[in-house]
Each structure stands twice: as C-alpha cells, then as structure tokens.
Amino acid sequence: MIADAAMRLFRRDGYDGTTMRAIATEAGVSVGNAYYYFSSKEHLIQAFYDGMQVEHADAAVAVLAREKDFEPRLRGVLEAWLDVAAPNHEFAGQFFKNAADPESPLSPFSDESTPARAASTELYRRVVDGADIKIAPGLRAELPGLLWLLQMGFVLFWVYDKSPDQARTRALVTQGTPIVDRLVRLARLPVVRGIVDDLVKVVAGLRSE
Amino acid sequence: MIADAAMRLFRRDGYDGTTMRAIATEAGVSVGNAYYYFSSKEHLIQAFYDGMQVEHADAAVAVLAREKDFEPRLRGVLEAWLDVAAPNHEFAGQFFKNAADPESPLSPFSDESTPARAASTELYRRVVDGADIKIAPGLRAELPGLLWLLQMGFVLFWVYDKSPDQARTRALVTQGTPIVDRLVRLARLPVVRGIVDDLVKVVAGLRSE
DNA sequence: GGTCATTCTTGAACACGTTCAACTCACCCA
DNA sequence: TGGGTGAGTTGAACGTGTTCAAGAATGACC
C-alpha cells in the first residue's frame, strides 16, 4: 500500500521530487508509520526493483521458448529487459546513484542483492543451456555470470542514454549480441582457448574469495 | 582554503560524516560563504578529483619512462593509480555514488568531465604509443579509449573492494594485464581480426553520435 | 472482564544541504 | 569628499530524510 503510493508518486514527480511526507499522505498514514514498514526511502525502491525483475523473467520465458539459437536468445532477453524498464527510464537514473553506493543494499553487488543476482544469473544459464551452440568446456560454467555482468554494462549505458526511447542502447544491443555470439564461438579455437581459460580462472578466483 | 579544510575533514570523518557547517567552521568562514565559492558539497570533491588525476599522471610518467613493454606499462599505470588512490579508499566509496549519478558533473561520462576524461585517455595513448608491441591497425585508434574504460572497470571493482589494502584489486590488476596484453596480440590474427574490427566499429559509432 | 505484552501509529523534533535578503568592504570616478 | 558599483560575507530560514518517546490498538491468557 505504501509502496504503491510511493511508486505512483515516483513515476509522476521523480525520485528526488517525491518526499516521504507526500508518500505518507498519499498512502493515508503518518510519516513515522511509513518508516515502520520501510526503513528508508531507498528501501521503497527495492519492491519496485523486485517487481521489475519478475516482469523481466516472465518476458524472458516467452523469448526462450521461441528462440533456439544463442544470439537471438541473448538479444531477446536483453531487449525484454529494455521493454520492461523503458517506462521507468526517466526516474531510474535518479535512484541509480543509490544503487551505485557500495554500502547500499540496492547495489547489485551487495549481500542483500544476492538472491536477485542469482535469479538473474540463472536466467542467463537458461539462455546458454537451451541454445544450439557449442561452448568451450572451461567457459560453460562462467558464461552465465559473465552475461549477467554484460547486462550490468548495458544497464549502465541505458541509464546514461538520453536518446529518444533509448534508441542508442537498443542499437548497442542489436550490434553487440552478434559480436558476443562470435566471441563465444571463437573461444573454442585452440589459439584462443588458452587465454579464455586464463580469463575464466581469474573470474572464478575472484568469486571464490 | 575551503577546499583544504573540506579535504581534511573528509579524510577524518568521511564524506557523509562531514557537514558543510563543520567545513565552514574549519575554514573560518560562514556556511553561506562556502557556498559562494563552491555551489554544492559535491563540487568540493571536484578539486580533490582533479588533484588525484594530476598525481596519477605524474606517477605514470615515471612508469612510462622506465618500462618499454606494453604489459608492464599498462600494469604500472594502473598500479600507480592504486597507489595514488589508496589513502582515500575509505571515503571514496561514499562519494562514488554521487559520481555515478548521470546528472552529476562528477560522473566520468558527463560533459564537465570531458577534459579529465580526455587527459586520462591521452595517458593511455602514451602507454600504447611508446610500447614495443604490434597492434592491429583498426584497433590502434580505439585502444586508448578502451583502456580508459578498463580503468573505469578497475575503479568500480576497487570501490567495492573491502579486502585489506585492496589486495583483491591489486591481484586483479596483476592477473588481468597479462590477459589484456595477450588479447591485444591476438587481435592481429586473421581469424580474430574480423570480430575486432566489428567491435571497434560499434565503439567508434557510439562515440560519434 | 481485566491485565499484560506486543505490534502498530503518531507527529514533533533533529540535523542536514541549500538558499537568500541583507550587509560589509574595497575600489573607482567626478 | 561623496557616492556608487560590485565582489565578498553573513546567519537565519526552508524543506528534506530520519528518529523517537509517547500513545493507541490488538490479541492472548486467566
């Protein structure tokens, strides 16, 4: 209820333009009561955050059922994210800075975000596992995590994208995914394999610490 | 004077722990006067930001005079940044969120940061130009920009790095730069060249818009 | 019904970043 | 000398996110 009121106002007035007092009034409660349920203004975003992830997962399911090749699967999932996120682009940037704070629970790298991160990585595991593509053995286990990281890169670009309808990000996805596809295929070549294995080793080593 | 006072307090009490009133008192002026010279608390960081860049450039000069091979040059420059930045790690994270805000002038992608970004890219151009390494013709022009982006990635990792003395970031640099070195050499191979050219084309296309 | 503990709810109060009308001061020109 | 201009300086005041002591409401147990 309070979260709904917050979302309405966030969409209408932006994140910074919405005060906790306004949210409380809109929800018909006192300011203190809003803080009883959400320990900060930031936490009000988490609900929205989670909702978007679920929406994305749903949209991705349709894509993965339809596409069999790796590139369309990856592209479809990324474009699904863009579709889901598009209505919120304007104020997404405003709370992006909160997500970037290493201390914030909203940070994609935080402990609190571990479930969301795992769910998202799992999505990319399905992208990889269901695809008609041969993957270098060493790369297979790490690829979903790397694709999640790639998505974070696209999100970063999207947040900064001021072009109408975020056309630049869409173009980047369209042009980028074929390159990723070719990179993954390339990774099986003997000359390239060694370096890919080293790269995977570094990534795996970082995560295990 | 005001900036100096601010830096002293930032280092002692952190960014969030330092109030504008405290800064003004420390500098022996009124709050309003501090705002006469710095239009926001954020702008007080810019001075510090610029100072660090100059320090880094100086440290890099020594490295570039000493090393001739590409990998040590790249690694040296990155490690120089870590050395310069180390004393500020604790409170760097606190204002990192401000830098991440797309609207903030502190953002590395903002218009206001263009000079700093250009200076930093120029540094990596010197890393590349002075190195004993053959570079694929198509890659040569874009490599400095890509290395700057790589540094941004390391900085991101560094900000989140909670290990003592940021040992994990140092390890990542140590293990990462040889891989970059090999990737750059690999880019000259006929099988790899096509994909590198496409990648460069996408990057160049994005920047020209 | 009465008592107690727990959960929920309130709004005044706090500290903060920021703004602004008022003021001081230095300097110049007639 | 007088007055005017513009840069420099002030601190009270504003709106913000957040806290907290105090009070309601709820429900469990005798």
Q: What is the DSSP code string of B9-45?
A: HHHHH-STT--HHHHHHHHTS-HHHHHHH-SSTTHHH
Average pLDDT over residues A153-176: 95
- The C-alpha atoms of residue A28 and residue A40 are separated, in whole angstroms, by 18
C-beta of residue A73 within 8 angstroms of C-beta of residue A133? no
Give a yes or no: residue A44 inside a domain: no
Are the CB atoms for A42 and A107 separated by under 8 Å? no
- Mutation target for A interface from B101, B109, B146, B186: give the one with most A CBs within 10 A: B101
Q: Specify whether A70 is located in the same domain as A133.
A: yes
Amino acid identity for residue B82 in this structure: L
- Look at residue B195 and tell me if it is in a domain: yes
Using the predicted structure, report yes or no on whether residue A97 has a pLDDT greater than 90. Answer: no
Same domain, B67 and B25: no
pLDDT, tens digit, 9 for 90 and up, residues B131-144: 999 999 999 999 99
Q: What is the mean pLDDT of residues A29-53?
A: 91
With the C-alpha atoms ordered B46, B49, B55, B59, is the resulting torsion angle positive or negative?
negative
What is the reported pLDDT for B93? Answer: 78
Cα B117 to Cα A98, B110, B124, B134, B144: the distances in Å are: 23, 9, 11, 25, 11
Q: Are residues B69 and B30 in the same domain?
A: no
- Rounded distance, CA A41 to CA A6, Å? 9
Q: How far apart are CA B76 and CA B67, in angstroms?
A: 8
CATH of the domain at B20: 1.10.10.60
- Near strand C (CB < 7 A), which residues? A 29-33, 35-37; B 18-21, 31-32, 35, 39-42
By the 8 A CB rule, do B147 and A96 touch? no
pLDDT interval class at A105 (50, 70, 90): confident
* pLDDT at res. A204: 94
Q: What is the pLDDT of residue B115?
A: 86
Task: Specify the residue for token string 């660090």.
Answer: B52
Task: Tell me the pLDDT of chain A averaged across its residues.
Answer: 92
A97 touches chain B (CB under 8 A): yes
Q: What is the pLDDT of residue A26?
A: 97
Contacting residues for B104 by C-beta, under 8 A, at least 6 apart = A97, B42, B98, B110
Substitution target in A166, A175, A180 with the highest count of B β-carbons within 10 Å is: A175
- What gap in Å lies between CA B23 and CA B27, rounded to an integer? 6
**Those residues with Cβ within 8 angstroms of residue B174's Cβ, 6 or more apart along the chain or in another chain:** B75
Per-residue model confidence (pLDDT) at position B49: 82
Length of chain A: 209
Maximum mean pLDDT: which of B1-15, B42-56, B176-190 = B176-190
Give the structural domain span for A6.
1-39
Q: Are residues B188 and B119 part of one domain?
A: yes
Distance A36 CA to C11 C1' (A): 14
Report the CATH number that the domain containing residue A165 is assigned in CATH.
Answer: 1.10.357.10
* Residue B159, both tokens: 């900000």
- Is A112 found in the same domain as A199? yes
Query: Is residue A115 exposed (0-12), middle (13-18) or buried (19+ Cβ within 10 Å)?
Result: exposed
Are B158 and B96 part of one and the same domain? Answer: yes
A182: which residues sit within 8 A by CB, 6+ positions away? B195, B198
Q: How far apart are CA B19 and CA B44, in angstroms?
A: 12
Give, in order, the Cα–Cα distances in Å from B38 to each of A77, B9, B21, B24, B117: 45, 16, 13, 11, 22
pLDDT in tens, B76-123: 999 999 999 998 888 887 777 777 887 777 888 888 788 889 999 999
Residue A53 lies in a domain: yes
Q: How confident is the model at residue A136 (pLDDT cuts 50, 70, 90)?
A: very high
Question: Per residue in A6-22, pLDDT tens?
Answer: 999 998 999 999 999 99
Tokens encoding B11: 């280092």
Tell which residue, A64, A49, A54, has the closest CA to residue A10: A49
Confirm whether pTM is higher than 0.75: yes
Where is average pLDDT lowest: A38-42, A94-98, B168-172? A94-98
Same domain, B92 and B61: yes
Contact A172 B206 (CB under 8 A): yes
Which stretch of A95-99, A189-193, B22-26, B120-124 has the lowest confidence by average pLDDT?
A95-99
- Between B148 and B11, where is the model more confident? B148
Q: Do A101 and B101 touch (CB under 8 A)?
A: no
Let me know if residue A55 belongs to a domain: yes
Indicate whether B44 belongs to any domain. no
Assess whether pLDDT exceeds 80 at residue A99. no
Residue A163 is classified by DSSP as S
**What is the pLDDT, as a whole number, of residue B113?**
82
> A93, B102: Cβ pair inside 8 Å?
yes
- How many domains, in total, are found in chain B? 2
- In chain A, residues with a C-beta closer than 8 Å to the C-beta of B176 are 202
Does residue A126 carry a pLDDT above 90?
Answer: yes
